Amino acid sequence: MSSVPVVLGPAVADALSAHRAVVALETTIVAHGLPAPLNLEVAAACEEAVRESGAVPATIGVHGGRVVAGLSAEELAELADPRREVAKLSARDLGLAAAAGIDGATTVAGTIAVAHQVGIAVMATGGLGGVHRDAATTFDESADLMTLARTPVLVVASGVKSILDIGATLERLDSLGVPVVGYQTDRFPGFYRRDAGFALEWTMDSPAAAARAFAAHRSFSPSGWLLAHPVPAESELDAELHDAAVAAALEEARIAGVTGKAVTPALLASFAERTGGASVTTNRDLVVANARLAGHVAVALAALS
């Protein structure tokens, strides 16, 4: 049986063989989460933020069936091109996409599955997928949760989006054994807002503390972590605008009858329209801040071993 190799970008290969800090970045936010041309600018800004923290960025995706950790600028630009057909790949889709020889962007689940295989322990994204509000009837829960439960990667994210059922998502992370740790906060962030209304039991106040605790966690559990990093205060979306847009986006998706993996991109697009693009600016700022923090955590983690 032939196995599928993960192709490493040159800088990622060097860093991994020297046991230096590497941060995995996803591509679904590039191909399906943000509008062009901002999507590519944000992807580049995330890579730059990781480098400024002293770590090496490994943007992950599938290019012509090659599963790549450390996409080149050209490969990334192709996945960001809205004229191209780029599949949305969760962990379960990776082998199929490789066998089919297609282009694909990886979700958090798809990204951590690849990252872990090559020895990358830290990832940054905007928001983790979660339990959708109608999950009691649709069973729509992102595979991000189950995959994070069995993949020891620390994911830095600004919580989950408020278009989801945040309380149910936190309950599922509890059942699945995934620690949810606030970074310099004891409130769970709701992506566009710094406080989604839920208290957190664990807080870390520095990258070094987070790295030590994550390393300790790995002695007892195969799961990853959600390190919850609130959006910078100056980039937070206005509360009223936010609440109105959430209600409208959910109603629009319900009427359109969107299902399956189209749900998250559809909600994000309608949210962007409802907020006159403000949600996109917020999204950009938080994801870059998360990449920066992930870089610092990866550096601290590398220093432990």
Task: Just list the catalytic residues.
Answer: 26, 161
Question: Binding segment for Mn ion among 35-43, 135-143, 155-163, 234-242 (CB under 5 A)?
Answer: 135-143
- Rounded Cα distance, 140 and 121, in Å: 27
What are the strands, taking DSSP E only, across the chain?
6-8, 22-25, 56-63, 66-69, 87-89, 104-106, 122-124, 154-157, 180-183, 202-204, 225-228
Per the CB < 8 A criterion, the answer to whether 105 and 79 are in contact is yes
The torsion angles phi and psi of 219, rounded to 5 degrees, stand at -70, -20
Minimum distance from residue 10 beta carbon to Mn ion (Å): 35
- Rounded Cα distance, 43 and 48, in Å: 9
Q: Where along the sequence are the contacts to ligand PSU (CB under 6 A)?
A: 26, 28-29, 32-33, 107-108, 125-127, 129, 142-144, 261, 264, 268, 283
Minimum distance from residue 28 beta carbon to ligand PSU (Å): 3
Quickly list DSSP for 282-294: HHHHHHHHHHHHH
93 binds Mn ion per the rule CB under 5 A: no
3-state secondary structure of 40: helix
The residue within the footprint of Mn ion, chosen from 75, 93, 103, 140 (CB under 5 A), is 140
Minimum distance from residue 60 beta carbon to Mn ion (Å): 20
Q: Is the peptide bond before 37 cis (omega within 30 degrees of 0)?
A: yes
| Interacting partner of 126 out of Mn ion, ligand PSU, none (Cβ under 5 to 8 A depending on kind) | ligand PSU
Considering the complex, state which of residue 127 and residue 207 has its C-beta at the smaller distance from ligand PSU: 127
Considering the complex, state which of residue 35 and residue 222 has its C-beta at the smaller distance from ligand PSU: 35
285 binds Mn ion per the rule CB under 5 A: no
Say how many residues touch Mn ion, by CB under 5 A: 1
| Interacting partner of 236 out of Mn ion, ligand PSU, none (Cβ under 5 to 8 A depending on kind) | none
